[in-house]
Structure 1
Amino acid sequence: MSQTHPLFIEDAYLSTAEGKVTAVNDRGGILLDQTCFYATSGGQPGDIGFFEREDGSKIEIAATVNGQSKSEIVHVPSNEQAVPEIGEPLVLHIDWERRYRLMRMHTACHLLTVVCPFPITGASVGENESRVDFDMSEATDKVSVTEKLMELVNANHPVFSNWINESELEANPGLVKSKNVRPPQGSGRIRLICIGEDAAIDSQPCGGTHVSETGEVGAIHIGKIEKKGRENRRFRIRFGDMPQ
């Protein structure tokens, strides 16, 4: 099994990097020694973009997914792309405009879990709209939720990562907000995404990409709150100011 060093864990703003081909699987997926391309996980879509070869030609990448494990990242080329050689050096270019929107949206989802401190039953991050499902029975108003979200955005709190070991996570089960999904274990350490000075606003396990300050999220609003079952509500986050 090939392991790929995930550069995006250390620097989510790295839009270009160098990588060397370590394998091409039987479906044409390209594996590298390291990559800035995020693989689909935790509700966040994988990156798209292109690889630049030494002769200047391009290999368009249509999706990025995990292979047999989280440590194996597979870059899926678009149809009829050239196949690189094992050991070939490539320059990796992600679709930065798309990635940055996803980073802003993913951070907004974290802020929503602060405003609505209920167990999460599902989530999906999108370029223009994201959703977070909560195990909650009481009704709430999308205007007031939007106002609280924008207070957190406008306060421009720092967003950063911290690492704890698995025993620390077991000792602090409240860090896990998801009702049904536990963070992957076995590597010995867990990555936390923290918001606010000394993580005063929030801290929760997450392997996705986020902006470095809440102010970068920009204007967002709750477009719709849907009742999904007796004790489940779906919140849809959208970019821009709330329509009048």
Structure 2
Amino acid sequence: MTLLFRDDPYRCTGTARLVEAGLEGIRLDRTLFYPAGGGQPGDTGMLRWTGGEVRIVDSRKGTPLVEQGRDVLHIVADGASLPPPGTEVEMEIDWDRRHRHMRMHTTLHLLCAVVDGAVTGGQVGADKSRLDFDVPSGSLDKQAIEDALNGLIQADHPVRELSITDAELDARPELVRTMSVKPPVGSGTIRLLNIGGSDVPVDLQPCGGTHVSRTGEIGPVEIVKIENKGKQNRRIVVALKG
């Protein structure tokens, strides 16, 4: 399956050919729909063909190739009428929702640059998102974090994707900020998100999600709250202001 969102996360329409449709969902030969993973929800949208259409209520990684993340299941509502294999379909993702996920996901990377601590968990949302950090008690200042975060956003840093080999990642374990989830290895290359310059990046770590092309596109954000979730576990909730 060709993952079109890898090359262009801003593309929201396109054509594909239906490979299989069943109880699990719809498989296409190519897709614009990002499957849930890395804390980012799966895309929703529509598939249309001559004489019919169906709403995609979720997108998930398929079981057969889940390790490589290459197989995407497009989930439809129970009882939906589906076209036969071979049908050409027009894809359309819910762009506003995807774009908000892109803005929020990029924001969480900037939050990693502001807060010094390993990430123990996280979730991307269209309006609010969160990251959990392993940090000592009393070391987080809500206003200072919000100011620093908005400063990085207003600086309009470039955001781009790079790749390294499995061996290169093994040699640079500091790139992995998450304690609970490790980047998938075994395919030979791993995707990195680089924010800022390549010589001294603002943030550089493995990530397979979708992101905006510059931090200024995020717009202003606010730190909603900071919660204690354990002896040294602090949850930071951030929201888009518009």
TM-score by length of 1: 0.94
Question: For structure 1, which segment, 62-71 or 149-158, has the greater mean C-alpha deviation from structure 2 after superposition?
Answer: 62-71
Query: Post-superposition shift, 1:160?
Result: 0.5
Residue matched to 1:150: 150
- 1:57-68 paired onto structure 2 within 5 Å: 57-68=52-63
In structure 1, what is the Cα distance between the partners aligned to 2:183 and 2:88? Answer: 33
Residue matched to 1:103: 102
Query: Post-superposition shift, 1:137?
Result: 1.1
After superposition, give the CA deviation of every residue in 1:56-87 in whole Å (9 maximum; x if it has no partner).
x3111100001111221000012332112111
In structure 2, what is the Cα distance between the partners aligned to 1:118 and 1:109? Answer: 13
| 2:56–2:74 contact (8 Å) kept in structure 1 | yes
Residue matched to 1:195: 195
Query: Post-superposition shift, 1:117?
Result: 2.3
Number of positions where the alignment pairs a residue of Structure 1 with one of Structure 2: 236
Following TM superposition, the consecutive aligned residue runs of length 4 or more in structure 1 with deviations greater than 3 angstroms are none
Query: Post-superposition shift, 1:31?
Result: 0.3
Describe the SS at the equivalent of 2:85.
Answer: coil
Residue matched to 2:123: 124
In structure 1, what is the Cα distance between the partners aligned to 2:220 and 2:79? Answer: 40
In structure 2, what is the Cα distance between the partners aligned to 1:192 and 1:34? Answer: 23
Residue matched to 2:12: 15
In structure 2, what is the Cα distance between the partners aligned to 1:171 and 1:145? Answer: 31
Residue matched to 2:2: 5
| 1:64–1:75 contact (8 Å) kept in structure 2 | yes
Aligned-pair identity in percent equals 41
- 1:63-212 paired onto structure 2 within 5 Å: 63-68=58-63, 69=66, 70-139=69-138, 140-198=140-198, 200-212=201-213
| 1:49–1:95 contact (8 Å) kept in structure 2 | yes
Unaligned segments of structure 1, at least 5 residues = none
In structure 2, what is the Cα distance between the partners aligned to 1:220 and 1:97? Answer: 17
After superposition, give the CA deviation of every residue in 1:98-145 in whole Å (9 maximum; x if it has no partner).
000110000000000000021000000001110100001132111110
Unaligned segments of structure 2, at least 5 residues = none
In structure 2, what is the Cα distance between the partners aligned to 1:117 and 1:209? Answer: 23
Describe the SS at the equivalent of 1:110.
Answer: helix
Residue matched to 1:34: 30
| 2:137–2:231 contact (8 Å) kept in structure 1 | no
Residue matched to 1:52: 48
- 1:207-222 paired onto structure 2 within 5 Å: 207-222=208-223
| 1:120–1:134 contact (8 Å) kept in structure 2 | yes
| 2:24–2:73 contact (8 Å) kept in structure 1 | no
Query: Post-superposition shift, 1:17?
Result: 1.4
What is the aligned-residue RMSD (CA, Å)? Answer: 1.2
Query: Post-superposition shift, 1:28?
Result: 4.7
In structure 1, what is the Cα distance between the partners aligned to 2:87 and 2:9? Answer: 25
TM-score by length of 2: 0.95
Residue matched to 1:236: 237
In structure 2, what is the Cα distance between the partners aligned to 1:137 and 1:17? Answer: 48
| 2:153–2:218 contact (8 Å) kept in structure 1 | yes
| 1:164–1:190 contact (8 Å) kept in structure 2 | yes
The one-letter code of the counterpart of 2:48 is E
Describe the SS at the equivalent of 2:153.
Answer: helix
| 2:47–2:53 contact (8 Å) kept in structure 1 | yes
Describe the SS at the equivalent of 1:201.
Answer: strand
